[in-house]
Amino acid sequence: MKLSRRSFVRSSAMLAAASTLPIAHPALADLTEAGGTPSPICLGLASYTFRNFPRAQMITWMKQLNITSLNPKDAKDHLPMDPTAEAQAVSDYEANGIHLHAAGAIYFQKDDDDDIRSKFEYCKRAGVKVIVAGDPAPATLPRVEKFVKEYDIKIAIHNHGPEDKIFPSPLDVLKFVKNMDPRMGCCIDVGHCMRAGTDVIEAIHAAGPRLFNMHMKDLTSFTSKESQVAVGEGKMPVRGIFEALVKVKYPGWVDLEYEIHGDDPMPGVTESFAYMRGVLSGMGYNPRA
């Protein structure tokens, strides 16, 4: 039977909702356990999605979404740079069963030991093993690499599309890090990647073991930053992206970064996770986050 996109999203939402409930009824078991294969794709959230809301509200919404993996940044009170405030944030996340798997974007534009060390210490305190780095100046990379080796924390340089004159595409990131420590790699922002004219599926294969984080979004036009929509409502090849990640044995998270409707993000965020879980279910995986 051929389903419309709207019907597919609605079915996916039903499955996603079922996956948040205890399996007490056979119908729910059928929905959540069909195929029985744990998903190799881990879904997470970039806290920038909820940039206009405090940590407590974000935690409440994450529980509603059944999302327990977070990529926070120093926005609102999500993961403050101040050590005391940061410790409270980490404690709040731990108390609510939320795992911090990455942090960022964090900016490395000073070629200075003290500045760079402070950012690695910030992530070390939070127990984070991947730093999503936004627009680092190329001159800083050898110094950043030194701290990567010292702290054993990976650097995932985030591409920012055609407006970024240094790292518009993940392929540009790879040019800079290809001869550096293997913990120097990239965070692929799928929207910015496609807007830069780079096929995101090809970029995933090119990055391979240097791919440490993914930012997921959707666009109705790959030439317009302003065309962002909920995942599943645009042109992004979500299933192809997931298949490529499985093929390269990507070990990290796919973090939703929903950058529109900042004052009312939950409808689009809910639809986005429902769609991604529906795609995973269609691939034969258990779509629990």
- Which residues are CB-neighbours of 276 under 8 A, at least 6 positions away? 43, 216, 231, 232, 238, 254, 256, 287
Q: Quote the pTM value.
A: 0.87
The pLDDT tens digits of the residues spanning 199-243 come to 999 999 999 999 999 999 999 999 999 999 999 999 999 999 999
List the one residue out of 94, 97, 133 whose CA is nearest residue 116: 133
Residue 12 lies in a domain: no
> Which CATH number do you get for residue 127?
3.20.20.150
The pLDDT tens digits of the residues spanning 142-199 come to 999 999 999 999 999 999 999 999 999 999 999 999 999 999 999 999 999 999 999 9
Residue 1 lies in a domain: no
Q: State how many domains the chain has.
A: 1
Q: For 79-190, where are the E strands, in sequence order?
A: 99-100, 103-107, 130-134, 154-158, 184-189
- Find the mean pLDDT for residues 277-281: 96
Residue 242 lies in a domain: yes
Residue 273 lies in a domain: yes
Residue 2, pLDDT > 90, answer no
What is the structure's pLDDT at 268?
A: 98
> DSSP string of 27-79?
HHHHHHHTT-EEPSSEEEEEGGGGTTS-HHHHHHHHHHHT--EEE--SSTTSS
Residue 124 lies in a domain: yes
Residue 15 lies in a domain: no
Q: Which residues constitute the domain of residue 261?
A: 52-283
Tracing tokens 């004219």 back to the chain, one arrives at 197
> DSSP string of 155-167?
EEEEP-GGG-SS-
